[in-house]
Structure 1
Amino acid sequence: MMAGNGSEEHSDEDLMLSYQQGDAAAFEVLYERHKGGVFRYLLAKCYQQAIAEELFQDVWMKLIVARDRYEVRAKFTTYLYQLAHNHFVDYYRKTRTDVFQQKDCDEDVEQITAEAQKQADEQLDIQRQTETLAELIDNLPDEQREAFMLREEAGLTVAEIAEVTGVNAETAKSRLRYAVKKLRAGLKENG
């Protein structure tokens, strides 16, 4: 792997360039850094665990296939989430099903409930707040939810969110602002 004391000190861009040169360990570091955020982003867009898993694998496969064409033009996270966004849009256009409108989260509720039972009493309060926030996020309009997830999960700037979603910066900023406003109001209302 790249020279240095640890992978933590290498930027995502440096790691991707190392992977481009054949350093598989650099790819492993990138994957570990971003797998959770990319998966949660896709799950928030499609609401279906199985579909999100399929899209998630496809995104990483696209990254592997495109590694020789990678150039540092923006942050790696912008590049990665743009791949995820574009792949989701392509998938949605091909399938044109209603699965993305269905919010079948029984599986998630059961998992959260099982985890909450294992936690100490103080964790129950945190869990309730988390569930409330997740529900509030799920109820945001698609564009606002996407902007919020890109900001919170990927740490993208407003300009990067605009680039990923194909809108101007003011529109991205507005979507993010409205999302935060609705989430704050919902949290306040739910105590």
Structure 2
Amino acid sequence: MISEDEDIKCMLAFRAGGDICFEKILKKYEKPLINFVYRFIGNKTEAEDIAQEVFLRVYKSKNKYEPRAKFSTWLYRIAANICIDYRRKPANKLHASTDSLDKPIVRDENEITSEIADASKNLQENILEQKLINETIMSALILLPTNQRIALTLCVYENKSYREISEILGCSVSSVESLLFRSRQTLRKNWLFYKKNDKSV
């Protein structure tokens, strides 16, 4: 797998006319990007379509590319913007966000993953139950406000730092902390509701 430094070299080579370098980038990021978009919209077919649109924009923007940050940060920012545009369409808007990003919060980066892991240990080793857990988490993710969902997905599933997430979303690090804090609060409430109403737990 090519590294971040090699990503930049590949993109610069692609900008200079080396299409084979674009194929290397596509091979590395296609599946992770589809997964990222899928966790945002919850529809595999549309996630694949959006991922294709992301790479199409990368292809068309090759002459404008400047390596000011990690290539993956630039790529995920394009993906995040397309996802946000997707959510703005009335047919796709499940939940409107009215959140303020100004509230101070306590930083707690790994809270949600440990909560999900701890809760999962209490369930029986059953494929159907595990599927239900995954569906519950996905349903809760989809109902989060747009920026909260993107921030949480980038943090938990893509292992992006707070700084990288702030660059992708175009906001401050403190705003990212606030987004993550409130998204975890919402997921925790939904998870506790699930455990309370599921007799197998």
TM-score normalized by structure 1?
Answer: 0.69
CA contact (8 A) 1:47 1:100 kept: no
Distance 1:16 1:130 in 2: 36
Pairwise mapping of residues 22-33 of structure 1 onto structure 2 (< 5 A)?
22-33=17-28
Pick the aligned partner of 1:162 from 162, 166, 186. Answer: 166
2:73 to 59, 71, 78: 78
Residue 98 in 1 paired to residue 91 in 2?
Answer: yes
2:58 is equivalent to residue 54 of structure 1 = no
Q: Assess if the C-alpha contact under 8 Å between 2:162 and 2:177 holds in 1.
A: yes
Per the TM alignment, residue 169 of structure 1 is displaced from its structure 2 partner at its CA by 1.3
The answer on whether the counterparts of 1:37 and 1:153 sit within 8 Å (CA) in structure 2 is no
The 3 A distance-change label for structure 1 pair 125 and 25 is farther
Cα deviation 1:141-166 (Å, max 9, x = unaligned)? 32211111122343322122122222
Q: Is the 8 A contact 1:42 1:52 kept in 2?
A: yes
Aligned position for 1:66: 61
Identical-pair percentage: 25
* Structure 1 CA distance for aligned equivalents of residues 40 and 4 of structure 2: 31
Unaligned runs of 5+ in 2: 96-124, 196-200
Q: Which has the higher helix share?
A: 1
Gaps of 5+ in 1: 1-5, 103-120
- What residue is the counterpart of 1:152 in the other structure? 156
Superposition pairs of residues 36-47 of structure 1, within 5 angstroms = 36-47=31-42
Q: Aligned pair count?
A: 166
The normalised TM-score by structure 2 is 0.66
**d(CA) in 1 for partners of 2:179, 2:66:** 29
Query: Which residue of structure 1 lines up, in the alignment, with residue 186 of structure 2?
Result: 182
